[in-house]
């Protein structure tokens, strides 16, 4: 390893907690590379998206090129290369959700947030996505906000869901200032 | 928390511990958990495989391959390590059964994985969950940690000389990864594209080693097969279709939900009795019997239809993942076909040209058609395109996209004709200008 590499290695983009988690992750598998996809996802959870820096650091941790990481990452629809909102609203419109009003729910989210598919609100609080089946077909129409599921929505319950997250953001803001 | 449902006709095996706190290991043990794994340790691999064969348990992922036979294909001696792989990449639209298994009964998945490992002589099992199921992955991870703490996993499982480790893994959003060889690619840190077969996973699978890959529901069923005995299990279902199935019933029914019914249970009863009939007193138009890739059935086709692999196959469709999607008479079939093909177009991995190009052109044709700009010849073109995708791809995704499309066109040709030039969608929903 060149001195340059050693220097960049010490400058991790990730928090000590995430770094420790990723160090354990690569040891879990018979092959180091098996940690790649979870590593990208956990890094994205913390940083918000797969920036060039994140991709380079993941490549270094796995021991492959950044190009190789990019080649894999572009395959998976949950991985993104631009920032999303703090709360990424993913509305399923696949068949089971569609026939119970998934598009009407998606339209209401668009109206309430003033953004479309893959849009981000000006304050950075929300982003919106139309997504494929999320495995909640019997509780349709369903959405995910980040990793949380919300089932059996109607256009009328959309604003309540958003207000809940607005409240959480506010509470977090207050506690972090205190 | 997803709503749980119940019906008197249910035979609760796999769902027996749902809603009973069995995600906690002590509660799982109290409810009879891990007894089957201990029994298998005493009885040995040949006994396990014989019980599995006698059970007539068939793969719950969709293909319906007999589980015992699959396990018996793994060579006894292998230079490379053998692996058990649990496919929890549940992504077939209309299917949400594994969601409940991971949520309510994670230890059943662990116990089934241990038993599969004992049967084939593997020392490591992987449980792969789709990336969207993060909260379920956390439940699985806690369950695995608890099983290690009890000594049920690790160097000497249940105090024996046998070693078995379980590793959990997350995907990051890709339907194609539900295909067994694509899942192995993904677990090896690559793009989830399918491998050419043969060799089959039982001989050359994960990391090149012999691998048994089973759906999460199949694996969660295994402890119940062992507990009641293979022969007894097989008597629950219909001939050559042992046991129960978790049916994810969704769409226009009064009581959607995941119901566990014996294999061979009548589809009409599922729609009208178990799930409470069509919502709002409307009429039934069609049923997708086994997830979005399975050909649609008309009301008259479900009358006498028993829901097992053989009977649904004979009726020209597939039991698939048992995701029953019910459609009422206000559903636009062209729109439904378009949404279905849009999904497969989005999820095609692009590896095989007939699938990559076929799904794309089908989506374009159906988009234009639904928007009212179709021509009569498009109906035949859609059919021609779909027919030429069939059987021409490495993995079943090409067929999964073509099969339902063919059925929609054949069974609802009049409705397609009603969408022709100058006659917009009779249901007038979500019509957007075609962008081609």
Q: Are B358 and B305 contained in the same domain?
A: no
CATH code of B284's domain: 3.10.20.600
Check which CATH number belongs to the domain holding B62 and give it: 3.40.50.11540
| Average pLDDT in chain B | 95
Is residue B158 located within the same domain as residue B281? no
CB B96, CB A141: distance < 8 Å: no
pLDDT, position B422? 61
- The whole-number pLDDT of residue B186 equals 98
- Answer yes or no: is the ipTM higher than 0.90: yes
Across the interface, do A94 and B251 touch by the CB < 8 Å criterion? no
Residues B319 and B373 in one domain: no
When pLDDT is averaged across residues A19-26 and rounded to a whole number, the result is 96
- Optimal mutation site among A27, A101, A105, A135, interface B, most CBs of chain B within 10 A: A135
Q: Is the pLDDT of residue A91 over 50?
A: yes
Return the structure tokens found at B356. Answer: 């990559």
| Structural domain containing residue B344 | 333-418
Residues B222 and B114 grouped into a single domain: yes
Identify whether residues B302 and B158 lie together within a single domain. no
Number of domains in chain A: 2
Q: Which residue is listed with tokens 């009301």?
A: B299
Q: Where are the beta strands (DSSP E) in B229-352?
A: 244-251, 257-262, 284-288, 323-328
| Cβ-Cβ contacts under 8 Å, B131 against chain A | 41, 76, 78
Q: What are the pLDDT digits (tens) for B147-194?
A: 999 999 999 999 999 999 999 999 999 999 999 999 999 999 999 999
Judged by a CB distance cut-off of 8 A, whether residue A133 touches chain B is yes
Rounded to 5 degrees, φ, ψ at B240 are 60, 10
* Binary contact (A96, B171; C-beta < 8 A): no
**Residue at which a domain ends, from A41, A73, A105:** A73
Give me the CATH number covering residue A41.
1.10.10
Query: How does residue B66 score in pLDDT terms, banded at 50, 70 and 90?
Result: very high
Contacts of B174 in chain A (CB under 8 A): 75-77
Which chain A residues are Cβ-neighbours of B258 within 8 angstroms? Answer: 138
Contact residues, B window 94-113, toward A, CB-based 8 Å cutoff: 94-96, 98-99
Tokens of residue A68, six digits: 């190789």
Q: Does B61 touch chain A (CB under 8 A)?
A: no
DSSP string computed for B166-195: EEEEE--S-GGGGSHHHHHHHHTTS---PP
Interface membership of A43 toward B (CB under 8 Å): no
Assess whether B343 and B227 both reside in one domain.
no
Same domain flag for A97 and A165: yes
Neighbours of A1 (CB within 10 A): 7
Q: pLDDT of A120-133, one tens digit each? A: 999 999 999 999 99
| Chain segment B329-375, per-residue pLDDT in tens | 999 999 999 999 999 999 999 999 999 999 999 999 999 888 888 88
pLDDT exceeds cutoff 90 at B6: yes
Whether B319 and B339 map to the same domain: the answer is: no
B contact residues 219-248, partner A, Cβ 8 Å cutoff: 248
- Contact of B366 with chain A, judged by CB distance below 8 Å, is answered with no
Query: Touching check for A151 and chain B: CB below 8 Å?
Result: yes
B384 interfacial to chain A (CB closer than 8 Å): no
Instruction: Name which of A77, A96, A140 is nearest B173 (Cβ-Cβ).
Output: A77
What is the model's pLDDT at position B421? 67
Domain encompassing residue A32: 3-73
- Token pair, residue A75, equals 């395959």
Is A25 within 8 Å of chain B by CB? no
- The model's pLDDT over B143-160, given as tens digits with 9 standing for 90+, comes to 999 999 999 999 999 999
* Whether the predicted pLDDT of B69 surpasses 50: yes
Among residues A43, A73, A103, which one ends one of the domains? Answer: A73
Identify whether residues A101 and A159 lie together within a single domain: yes
**Same domain membership, residue B196 and residue B72:** yes
Same domain assignment for residues B194 and B292: no
Q: Rg of chain A over CA atoms, in angstroms?
A: 19
Instruction: State the pLDDT at residue B433.
Output: 44
Number of domains present in the structure of chain B: 3
Residue A120's SS3 state is strand
CB-based contact, A105 to chain B, within 8 Å: no
Task: Give the one of A34, A135, A144 whose C-beta lies nearest to B189's C-beta.
Answer: A34
Tens of pLDDT along B269-294?
Answer: 999 999 999 999 999 999 999 999 99
Q: Is residue B375 part of a domain?
A: yes
Q: Do A99 and B169 touch (CB under 8 A)?
A: no
Nearest Cα of chain B lies from the Cα of A164 at a distance, in angstroms, of 17
Other beta carbons within 10 Å of B79: 8
For the whole model, what pTM was predicted?
0.95
What does the DSSP 8-state code read for residue B215? E
Q: Is B144 exposed, middle or buried (0-12, 13-18, 19+ CB in 10 A)?
A: buried
Q: What is the pLDDT of residues B372-396, one digit of tens each?
A: 888 899 999 999 999 999 999 999 9
In this structure, the answer to whether residues B63 and B179 fall within a common structural domain is yes
Residue of B nearest to A93 (CA): B339
A99 and B252: CB-CB below 8 Å? yes
Residues of B in contact with A137 (CB under 8 A): 93-96, 248, 250, 256, 323, 325
Distance CA B90, CA B263 (A): 20
B322: left (phi over 0), alpha (psi -120 to 50) or beta: left
Q: Chain B within 8 Å of A76 (Cβ-Cβ)?
A: yes
- Distance of alpha carbon B202 from the chain centroid: 20
Q: What is the structure's pLDDT at B174? A: 96
- Domain limit, last residue, from A19, A48, A73: A73
Would you say residue A80 lies in a domain? no
Question: Both A57 and A122 in a single domain?
Answer: no
Q: CB contacts < 8 Å between A and B, how many?
A: 150
Whether residues B216 and B288 share a domain: the answer is no
Q: Residue B233: is its pLDDT beyond 90?
A: yes
């Amino acid at each position: 390893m060149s001195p340059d590499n050693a220097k960049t290695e010490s400058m991790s983009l990730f928090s000590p907690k995430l770094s420790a988690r990723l160090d354990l992750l690569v040891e879990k598998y018979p092959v180091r590379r098996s940690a790649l996809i979870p590593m990208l996802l956990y890094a994205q959870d913390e940083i918000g998206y797969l920036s060039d820096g994140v991709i380079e650091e993941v490549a270094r941790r796995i021991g492959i090129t950044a190009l190789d990481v990019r080649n894999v990452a572009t395959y998976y629809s949950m991985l993104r290369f631009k920032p999303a909102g703090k709360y990424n609203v993913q509305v399923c419109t696949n068949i089971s959700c569609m026939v119970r009003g998934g598009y009407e729910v998606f339209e209401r989210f668009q109206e309430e947030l003033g953004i479309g598919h893959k849009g981000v609100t000006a304050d950075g609080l929300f982003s919106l996505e139309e997504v494929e089946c999320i495995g909640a077909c019997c509780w349709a129409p369903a959405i995910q906000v980040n990793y949380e599921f919300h089932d059996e929505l109607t256009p009328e319950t959309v604003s309540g869901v958003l207000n809940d997250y607005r409240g959480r953001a506010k509470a977090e803001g207050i506690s972090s200032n205190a | 928390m997803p709503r749980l449902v119940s019906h008197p006709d249910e035979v609760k095996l796999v769902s027996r511990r749902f809603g009973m706190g069995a995600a906690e290991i002590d509660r799982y043990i109290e409810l009879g958990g891990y007894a089957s794994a201990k029994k298998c340790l005493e009885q040995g691999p040949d006994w396990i495989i014989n019980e599995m064969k006698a059970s007539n348990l068939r793969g719950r992922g969709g293909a319906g391959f007999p589980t015992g036979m699959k396990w018996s294909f793994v060579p006894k001696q292998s230079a490379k390590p053998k692996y058990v792989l649990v496919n929890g990449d549940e992504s077939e639209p209309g299917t949400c059964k594994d969601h409940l298994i991971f949520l309510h009964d994670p230890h059943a998945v662990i116990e089934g994985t241990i038993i599969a490992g004992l049967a084939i002589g593997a020392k490591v099992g992987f449980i792969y969950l789709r990336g969207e199921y993060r909260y379920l992955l956390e439940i699985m991870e806690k369950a695995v940690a608890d099983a290690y703490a009890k000594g049920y996993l690790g160097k000497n499982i249940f105090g024996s000389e046998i070693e078995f480790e379980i590793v959990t893994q997350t995907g990051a959003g890709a339907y194609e990864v539900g295909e067994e060889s694509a899942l192995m690619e993904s677990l090896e840190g690559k793009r989830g594209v399918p491998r050419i077969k043969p060799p089959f996973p039982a001989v050359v699978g994960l990391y090149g080693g012999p691998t048994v890959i089973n759906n999460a529901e199949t694996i969660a069923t295994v402890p119940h097969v062992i507990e009641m005995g293979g022969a007894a299990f097989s008597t629950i279902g219909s001939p050559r279709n042992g046991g129960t199935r978790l049916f994810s019933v969704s769409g226009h029914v009064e009581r959607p939900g995941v119901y566990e019914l014996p294999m061979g249970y009548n589809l009409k009863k599922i729609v009208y009795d178990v799930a409470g009939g069509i919502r709002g007193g409307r009429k039934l138009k069609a049923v997708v019997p086994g997830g979005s890739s399975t050909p649609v059935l008309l009301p008259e086709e479900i009358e006498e239809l028993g829901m097992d692999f053989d009977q649904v196959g004979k009726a020209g469709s597939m039991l698939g993942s048992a995701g029953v999607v019910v459609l009422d008479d206000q559903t636009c079939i062209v729109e439904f076909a378009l949404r279905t093909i849009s999904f497969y177009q989005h999820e095609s991995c692009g590896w095989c040209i007939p699938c990559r190009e076929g799904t794309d052109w089908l989506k374009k044709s159906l988009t234009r058609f639904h928007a009212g700009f179709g021509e009569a010849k498009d109906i035949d073109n859609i059919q021609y395109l779909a027919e030429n995708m069939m059987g021409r791809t490495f993995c079943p995704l090409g067929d999964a996209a073509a099969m339902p499309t063919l059925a929609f066109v054949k069974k609802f040709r009049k409705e397609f004709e009603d969408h022709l030039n100058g006659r917009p969608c009779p249901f007038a929903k979500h019509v957007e200008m075609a962008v081609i």
